[in-house]
Amino acid sequence: MRVLRELVRRPSALFGLIVVVIVLLAAIFAPWIVHFSPDNQLTDGLSLEGAPLPPSGEHLFGTDTLGRDLFSRVLFGARTSLIIGLVANGVAVAIGLLVGLLAGYLRGTVGNLLMRFTDLMMAFPALLLAIALAALLKPSLWIVAMVIALVNWVQVARIVYTETRGLVERDFILAERSLGAGNGRIIFLHILPHLMPTAIVWGTLGIATTVLLEATLSFLGIGVQPPQPSWGNIIFESQSYFQDAPWLVFIPGAIILATALSFNLIGDALRDILDPTQRGRL
Amino acid sequence: MAVFLARRLVQAVLILLGVAAITFLLLYYLPADPAVLIAGRSATPQMVAAIRHELGLDQPLIMQFLHYVGSLLHGDLGRSYTQKTEVLPLILARLPATLVLMAAGIVVEVALGLTFGIIAAVWRGGFVDRSIMMLSFVGVSSPQFVVALLLLYVFAATLGWFPMSGFGTARHVVLPALTLGVLGAGWYARMVRSAMIEVLRQDYVRTAHAKGLSGRRVVLSHALPNALLPIIAMVGIDIGQFMSGVVVVEAVYGWPGIGQLAWQAIQQVDVPIIMGVTLVSALAIVLGNLLADFIAPFVDPRIRSQ
């Protein structure tokens, strides 16, 4: 609660929170908000020349090249993009926590191996690895989410590792151990709670990264496959019309930007609040 | 020092081996059966078996891997499924274009990042600082393909200042380099700012001010060199970001580099090319990190004496 109150007090974080809440509500209540089905190729959805319609009272965001209502596609796309963003990032943070914690706590051979593997993953350009994986596997919503999780856990693992190493040296851990506490008890009761701020901060910042990565993969045609809408593939489908129908590209583009920006702003504010020593860093 | 650098070198080699192992597994084991893929639909079981033998797929895994690493060392990245040629020449032919783009992108990134980072640090806490930090957040939150299309829309399609796509003259480089650089510039501005703030707090900076040196002199020749170290360490990570960005930017602008090659390979599920580009990028990242390790002692004498 204290965290929330402090968040609301910062204008940039408040802006982020408002945008995120709006996007979340729009995604959840999409079927009740829109007047047209996202897949419906409306008979009056194109002009007489067959061009998509610009934004108007009836079609808030205009229509796309197949005469579908862009507003409904963007709202249903929000579902896809947010599900992927949240699931992929949740899995990535979980893997990162597990690897970083084990490596930092066990050290020795296992710890070294885990961290070398993390270094190895750092050497892969994230997008290219995701592209390779997505190209090899048949892309579906869940595959895309897993691919993104597989390339995004590395940073969390490194940070958790450094923090765990520091924690293990602390006296209260030694005290616990002298009292006879087992590894499980120390990890879950004494180390994990200290890692929660990091997990929360990266859990928020990471959503921005995953939403952007999903959009990029879909834009390259290897993410979520049409006709299921996602913010990236809406742009992918109409990128060659961006001169004649700019709204098709720039409305979803602006929404991707606003969403990623909001999660970044909230994450940055959370880091300030939860860990004052990191203030102003990225 | 020498020991440290030697260890980094060994580590780099090990990482490259690991990268090779992962690409090897992805390349040969994730798709159902590469022999079937290569042979095509109408192949008889005998033909598939022959191809399997030719590729060495009937040998034990470890032998196959050693063979794979051996051919990598000879510069053999395999053959493209669709273009029926060696992958390495395809990549080498397109590498110069990508290097030009990356160099231009780095110039944009560093110029913007340093300028804004320094300005924000000097006037920290004020309106200018907050605006710059907000802008840097917008930069790191922008989907690159949208930035690319927006720049095209405004500066090429509407204003006509720059060509829509292609390669050749300096005017062709401007928009792709901007797209590539803006994202990193956001990161750099934040990094430079926090490093500068740390340095500006120190006593020797106050001494320099007390001696009566001009503010510009103190910031640029006393504080800045000491703030550069964490930024140099970023080079390796940065190259990774760039290699990813290159695919998107080259796809949108029709820039004939390895990113476009990878993008075209995606459309045709030409796995050896994708893997080849991934390997070359990983090599670039490892080399970038090594370079950062080797440059650091020259920038900061404290590291040399360790």
Q: Do B137 and A219 touch (CB under 8 A)?
A: no
Contacts of B175 (CB under 8 A, 6+ apart): B148, B151, B152, B155, B156, B162, B253
Question: What is the pLDDT at residue A276?
Answer: 58
Under 8 Å between Cβ of A226 and A237? yes
Confidence band for A261, pLDDT divided at 50, 70 and 90: very high
Q: State the smallest CA–CA distance between residue B18 and chain A in angstroms.
A: 7
In A, which residues are within 8 Å of B275 by CB distance? 132
In B, which residues are within 8 Å of A117 by CB distance? 18
Confidence band for A262, pLDDT divided at 50, 70 and 90: very high
Q: Do A128 and B197 touch (CB under 8 A)?
A: no
**Partner residue opposite B143 with nearest CB, options A120, A253, A281:** A253
Nearest CA in chain B to A15: B134
pLDDT, tens only, B243-288: 778 888 888 888 888 888 888 887 777 777 888 888 888 888 888 8
The residue among A272, A125, A214, A198 whose CA lies nearest residue B145 is: A214
B31 to chain A, any CB pair closer than 8 A? The answer is yes
* Chain pair A-B, CB pairs under 8 angstroms: 150
DSSP assignment of A3-40 equals HHHHHHHSHHHHHHHHHHHHHHHHHHTHHHH-SS-TT-
Residue A129 CB coordination number (10 Å): 24
Question: What is the pLDDT at residue A91?
Answer: 94
Preferred mutation among A136, A214, A262 to probe B, highest tally of B CBs within 10 A: A136
Q: Which two tokens stand for residue B46?
A: 């005998």
Q: State the smallest CA–CA distance between residue B247 and chain A in angstroms.
A: 8
Give the highest mean pLDDT range of A8-12, A58-62, A156-160, B72-76. Answer: A156-160
How confident is the prediction for chain A on average, in pLDDT? Answer: 83
pLDDT, tens only, B148-176: 888 888 887 777 777 777 776 777 777 88
Burial of residue A4 (number of CB atoms within 10 Å: 0-12, 13-18, 19+): exposed
Nearest CA in chain A to B262: A128
Alpha-carbon distance A146 to A154, whole Å?
A: 14
Confidence band for A282, pLDDT divided at 50, 70 and 90: very low
The residue among B299, B301, B306 whose CA lies nearest residue B232 is: B299
Under 8 Å between Cβ of A161 and A110? no
pLDDT at A166 over 70: yes
Q: Is pLDDT larger for residue B237 or for residue B11? A: B11
Give the count of alpha carbons within 13 A of A46, CB side only: 11
Q: State the smallest CA–CA distance between residue A193 and chain B in angstroms.
A: 28
Confidence band for A90, pLDDT divided at 50, 70 and 90: very high
pLDDT, tens only, A23-52: 999 888 878 877 777 777 767 767 767 677
The residue among B171, B247, B164 whose CA lies nearest residue A242 is: B164
Q: Is pLDDT larger for residue B115 or for residue B74? A: B115
Nearest CA in chain B to A13: B134
Alpha-carbon distance A222 to A233, whole Å?
A: 9
Percentage of chain B surpassing pLDDT 90? 0
Question: What is the pLDDT at residue A39?
Answer: 74
Hey, which residues 262-281 in chain B have their CB within 8 Å of chain A? 262-263, 265-267, 269, 271, 274-275, 277-278, 281
pLDDT at A251 over 80: yes
pLDDT, tens only, A189-211: 888 888 888 888 888 989 998 99
**Which value does ipTM take for this structure?**
0.83
Q: Do B248 and A219 touch (CB under 8 A)?
A: yes
pLDDT at B31 over 90: no
pLDDT, tens only, B127-153: 888 888 888 889 888 888 888 888 888
Under 8 Å between Cβ of B100 and B106? no
Alpha-carbon distance A253 to A233, whole Å?
A: 11
Stated pTM of the model: 0.85
pLDDT, tens only, A103-131: 888 878 888 888 888 888 877 777 777 77
Question: What is the pLDDT at residue A87?
Answer: 92
Confidence band for B34, pLDDT divided at 50, 70 and 90: low
Between CA B296 and CA B306, with CA B302 as vertex, the angle to 5 degrees is 95
pLDDT, tens only, B175-218: 888 888 888 888 888 888 888 888 888 888 888 888 877 777 77
Nearest CA in chain B to A263: B141
Nearest CA in chain B to A239: B149
Reduced to 3 states (helix: H, G, I; strand: E, B; else coil), residue B60 is coil
Hey, which residues 166-225 in chain B have their CB within 8 Å of chain A? 187, 190-191, 193-194, 197
Q: Do A220 and B266 touch (CB under 8 A)?
A: yes
B134 to chain A, any CB pair closer than 8 A? The answer is yes
